[in-house]
Amino acid sequence: MRIVIAEDSAIVREGLVQLLTERELDVVAAVGRADALIAAVGEHRPDAVVADIRMPPGHRDEGLRAAVELRRRHPGLGVLLFSQYIETRYIDVLLADGPAGIGYLLKDRVVDVDDFVSALHRVATGGTALDPDVVSRLLAARGAHEGLGSLSARERQVLEHMAAGLTNAAVAHRMEISQRAVEKHVASIFDKLGLERGENEHRRVLAVLRYLGH
């Protein structure tokens, strides 16, 4: 898998390069500016990018705006935003076609490198990896809780983890409940959201899209 990294902190940037290279990922470019990120993707055509949000010159949302532009130019590109901050501006545009191939993780909440690499693989192959805090902030910004009032607190928590891209087994581990209990919650979520019976992965995507307000 070919990766481009965009991170203005030289120490963090080099650390990411080393960690991903050690796990046999091909880091084809590592840059420190948003404009350099756009150029590197055009040159190397990676499978995914890992980008900070606040980058030079303004250190506001340059990385996020670059991600939006990259998705416009390269629709199949996986984008994993990796930041200390939750920034809701432009996220609606980034998620306009759904959450497939989009990730947003918070630096201070990633405690396992293998989890990070797993999230990167999901994003590169069209999956989703959204930190639950990011999902909650997006929902608050949009008022997207509307229509989900029938879900119990436990079901909402399960759906939040589904939106973060976790499998049923991973949700069970995170919530410290059995996988069977998760499966029951997921089935109830499908029923309460009125998602017709069919292929479970399709209903899972529809449930996440509903949760994210699309």
In this prediction, residue 212 carries a pLDDT of 65
User: 158 with 107, same domain?
Assistant: no
pLDDT of 199 higher than 60: no
**Mean pLDDT, the chain, integer:** 85
Tally of CB atoms within 10 A around 126: 12
Give the domain range for residue 26.
Answer: 2-140
**Higher pLDDT, residue 97 or 165:** 165
User: 102 with 52, same domain?
Assistant: yes
Instruction: Among 114, 140, 166, give the residue marking a domain's end.
Output: 140
User: 148 with 52, same domain?
Assistant: no
pLDDT band (50, 70, 90) for residue 20: very high
User: 82 with 161, same domain?
Assistant: no
Tell me the C-alpha distance between 171 and 177, whole Å.
8
User: 80 with 162, same domain?
Assistant: no
Measured CA distances, 7 to 26, 35, 47, 211 (Å): 17, 12, 17, 30
Instruction: Write the CATH number for 159.
Output: 1.10.10.10
pLDDT digits (tens, 9 = 90+) for 120-134: 999 999 888 888 777
Contacts 24+ apart (CB under 8 A), 12-19: 12/52, 12/107, 16/50, 19/113, 19/116, 19/117
Tally of CB atoms within 10 A around 160: 20
User: 54 with 26, same domain?
Assistant: yes
pLDDT digits (tens, 9 = 90+) for 24-39: 999 999 999 999 999 9
pLDDT band (50, 70, 90) for residue 201: low
In this prediction, residue 37 carries a pLDDT of 96
Instruction: Among 140, 159, 190, give the residue marking a domain's end.
Output: 140
Average pLDDT over residues 92-119: 84
pLDDT digits (tens, 9 = 90+) for 157-175: 898 888 777 889 989 999 9
Instruction: Among 93, 117, 140, give the residue marking a domain's end.
Output: 140
User: 151 with 199, same domain?
Assistant: yes
What pTM value is reported for the model? 0.70
Which of 48-57, 103-112, 190-199 bottoms out in mean pLDDT, i.e. has the lowest? Answer: 190-199
User: 133 with 152, same domain?
Assistant: no
Tell me the C-alpha distance between 58 and 128, whole Å.
28
Residue 155 backbone dihedrals phi, psi, to 5 degrees? -65, -40
Tell how far CA 31 is from the center of its chain: 21
In this prediction, residue 133 carries a pLDDT of 75
pLDDT digits (tens, 9 = 90+) for 51-74: 999 998 888 889 989 999 999 999
Instruction: Write the CATH number for 76.
Output: 3.40.50.2300
Domain count for the chain: 2
User: 163 with 109, same domain?
Assistant: no
Q: What secondary structure does DSSP assign to 77-90, as a single string?
A: -EEEEEESS---TT
Average pLDDT over residues 107-122: 90
